[in-house]
Structure 1
Amino acid sequence: MTRVLLTGGSGFIAAHVLESLLAHSHSVVATVRSVQKGQQILESYKQYGKDKLDFVIVEDISKPRAFDSAVVSDPPLEAAVHCASPYHFNAKTPEEIHQLITTAVDGTTGILKAIKSHAPTVKRVIILYSHAAMVDYAYSSAPFAYLASKTFAEKAAWDFVKSEKPSFTLTTLNPPMVYGPVIHSLSSLGSINTSNARFVGLLKGSPSTPCPPTVNYLFIDVRDLALAHVLALEKPEPENQRFLLTAGNYSSAEIPQVIGEEYPEFKDRMPVGEALKPGERPATGVNGYDNRRSIEVLGMKYRPLRESVVGVVESIKRLL
């Protein structure tokens, strides 16, 4: 059993990481932004005592020394998994873009500094970034402000390891679009995570509602991504490596097709004809990928898109 700090514990991806860590018999301290969110986590896993699951409050990851008290634990922490980072495409003004990037970078450097100074027993750090940090984009629209935040934050992490030479190793995980079931507390579909939000539009839409554009033609199931965090923690080989995690190519147009086949009650709401075209793969083709390192080193096995789509719909249809 390893004592693990998990940041952003109430988020879409981190909730699955938490579940996977507990399933693999690790002890977890999750950071959350409020007592209410922490209590919701404990209520969801009330079969575990405080020796297996607890939470600490970190209201703002970008504040100086935000993680200093969070990394102090009894028993001491042995590893940290950093998932807390802003994920949205709403930054449009220079001030908003600066804030988005600064929060991501400061959150990364903040937790690394805190571990180095206050948690000498931590030997492994796993940080969630994005496939975006592996691609050279040359755009300035709102989505690319988010991509820049991931790129600069990951660079800051590797720069820290190089310059500070901490006693812990670093592994970074870089997924593309993440789909799959929502298991964290969700009071309404208005607060659903960004990637799964397209499912809400489809399930509430009509045949003439345009299919959302794909943007990124690679995907991964959130359950596979969560397991990758655990494998990166448990295996020695991933130390000081970065991993592209993806099940492969897809397009948004495939999602309504799967929904229509698996859920006849929603078939009449799926886009067809011209409405489907925005989500189709371009005639010029899509980007390739190489996920061999994740398969060979981590031992990853990836779920197909159909399983991810079904997972999303099953988890949210009660809220429609």
Structure 2
Amino acid sequence: MSSNTKAIPDGSWVLIVGAASFVGSNIVQAFLKLGYKVRATDYSLPQASWMADDFFASYVANGHFELVIVPDIGEENAFDSVIKGVSAVIYVASVVTTFNPNDTIPLNIKGTLNALRAATKEPSVSRFVVTSSYGAAFTPGPEPSVRLDANSWNDAAIARAWAPPPYTPERYNSVYMASKAEQEKALWKFVKEEKPHFTVNTVLPSWICGRLLNKTQNPSSAICVRMLFNGDATYLRSLGIYSYVNVRDVALIHVGAALDPEVANERIYAIARHTTWNDFLELMRKNYPEKHFIDDMPDLGRFSGTVDTSLGLKLVRKWGSQEGWISLEEGMEETLDSVK
């Protein structure tokens, strides 16, 4: 790994926005393991203190980890001070607090643009990576006609999210996907119009599971595995699942998006395999034969479209110590160890 040419200097500072999250904290760990210094931001000290006080305390002691609270990503100049001296920005933060798109989408766009504008004023920044979602490209489903590429956008989710009220709970997924799509569109519009001095990439993970680094973290998508393990499938049936990726692979792809000089202006799909909840149930029955699980869910369908995941896999292989994607079985066990 050390022989790989890197787009940012060894041992330099990386700013990770939204670092206490499920995905963000795994990205923090991946950069620290490679010898980089990490300045982590989150919106709340109680939410994030476990990183500095416990899990990454040894890195605090040697000066390789800093935790800074940015309470409002939507505040103008929110990132101007924390971005000083960093070589890369990894923007993971995503706010979905209500089912109302007015509370979510403008804030996520503004936060991203605030970080981009701060980066344009900081000459040390060479790379800017944003965590998007494959939901920014399409609404996950079994439709065989789906062909995902760099020009795929989930305009259908945007339309559903902005439909007239009432803003009821079933809006959540549409608002989330629309927020990611509009955030990314605003990002690429900024890049086209402002032509910043740094390279920009985005990472579009599918449904994510794997290890949580701390029991107090919001388990995010990983909570679905606990629901399934406990037989609580009502939400899961409405959610559906069509593709899987492990959070450690997602972290490695972010590393590659920041470090790899050959990767520039890319939308990188992070999808390990196409799957359904019934695949998880099959593995649970195999690994826990003494426990009774719910029956397979009928009529789930399976993704049969086309998506090029070769770049994501290339980055996992190049910047990690593995030959391919982490398996669904391993990811399920890591998740259950964290949340059950």
TM-score by length of 1: 0.85
**Equivalences for 1:272-287 in 2 at 5 Å?**
272=295, 276-277=297-298, 280-281=300-301, 286-287=304-305
- Structure-1 residue corresponding to 2:229: 203
CA distance in 2, matches of 1:38, 1:212: 28
Structure 1: 5+ residue stretches without partners: none
- Structure-1 residue corresponding to 2:192: 162
Q: Which amino acid aligns with 1:205?
A: G
- Structure-2 residue corresponding to 1:30: 40
The answer to whether residue 264 in structure 2 is matched with residue 239 in structure 1 is yes
Q: Displacement, 1:295?
A: 2.9
> Does the Cα contact within 8 Å between 2:202 and 2:267 map onto a contact in 1?
yes
CA distance in 2, matches of 1:221, 1:87: 22
**Equivalences for 1:112-127 in 2 at 5 Å?**
112-117=116-121, 119-127=122-130
One of 101, 107, 112 as aligned partner of 2:105: 101
> Does the Cα contact within 8 Å between 1:38 and 1:56 map onto a contact in 2?
no
Q: Which amino acid aligns with 1:120?
A: P
Structure 2: 5+ residue stretches without partners: 1-10, 139-153, 161-170, 319-323
**Equivalences for 1:183-262 in 2 at 5 Å?**
183-186=213-216, 191-193=218-220, 195-205=221-231, 212-213=236-237, 215-262=240-287
Cα RMSD for the two superposed structures: 2.1
One of 75, 98, 103 as aligned partner of 1:63: 75
Q: Displacement, 1:2?
A: 2.3
Q: Displacement, 1:297?
A: 5.8
Q: CA 1:182/1:196 → structure 2, altered by over 3 Å: closer, same or farther?
A: same
One of 23, 37, 55 as aligned partner of 1:44: 55
The answer to whether residue 308 in structure 2 is matched with residue 290 in structure 1 is yes
Q: Which amino acid aligns with 1:111?
A: A
Query: Which segment is superposed worse, 122-131 or 300-309?
Result: 300-309
Q: Displacement, 1:181?
A: 1.4
Name the SS of the counterpart of 1:105 in structure 2.
Answer: helix
- Structure-2 residue corresponding to 1:131: 134
Relative contact order: is structure 1 or structure 2 higher (C-alpha 8 Å, sep ≥ 6)?
2
Q: Displacement, 1:168?
A: 0.8
**Equivalences for 1:136-151 in 2 at 5 Å?**
136=154, 138-139=156-157, 140=160, 141-151=171-181
The answer to whether residue 164 in structure 2 is matched with residue 172 in structure 1 is no
CA distance in 2, matches of 1:121, 1:162: 21
Q: CA 1:271/1:222 → structure 2, altered by over 3 Å: closer, same or farther?
A: same
How many corresponding residue pairs?
A: 295
Q: Displacement, 1:158?
A: 1.0
Q: CA 1:8/1:50 → structure 2, altered by over 3 Å: closer, same or farther?
A: farther
Q: Displacement, 1:288?
A: 3.3
> Residue deviations 1:255-302, cap 9 Å, x none?
12212211235x31x2115xx226x325xx643322122234664621
> Does the Cα contact within 8 Å between 2:215 and 2:339 map onto a contact in 1?
no
Query: Which segment is superposed worse, 232-241 or 293-302?
Result: 293-302
> Does the Cα contact within 8 Å between 2:215 and 2:338 map onto a contact in 1?
no
CA distance in 2, matches of 1:215, 1:106: 30
Q: Which amino acid aligns with 2:242?
A: Y
Q: Displacement, 1:205?
A: 2.6
> Does the Cα contact within 8 Å between 1:4 and 1:27 map onto a contact in 2?
yes
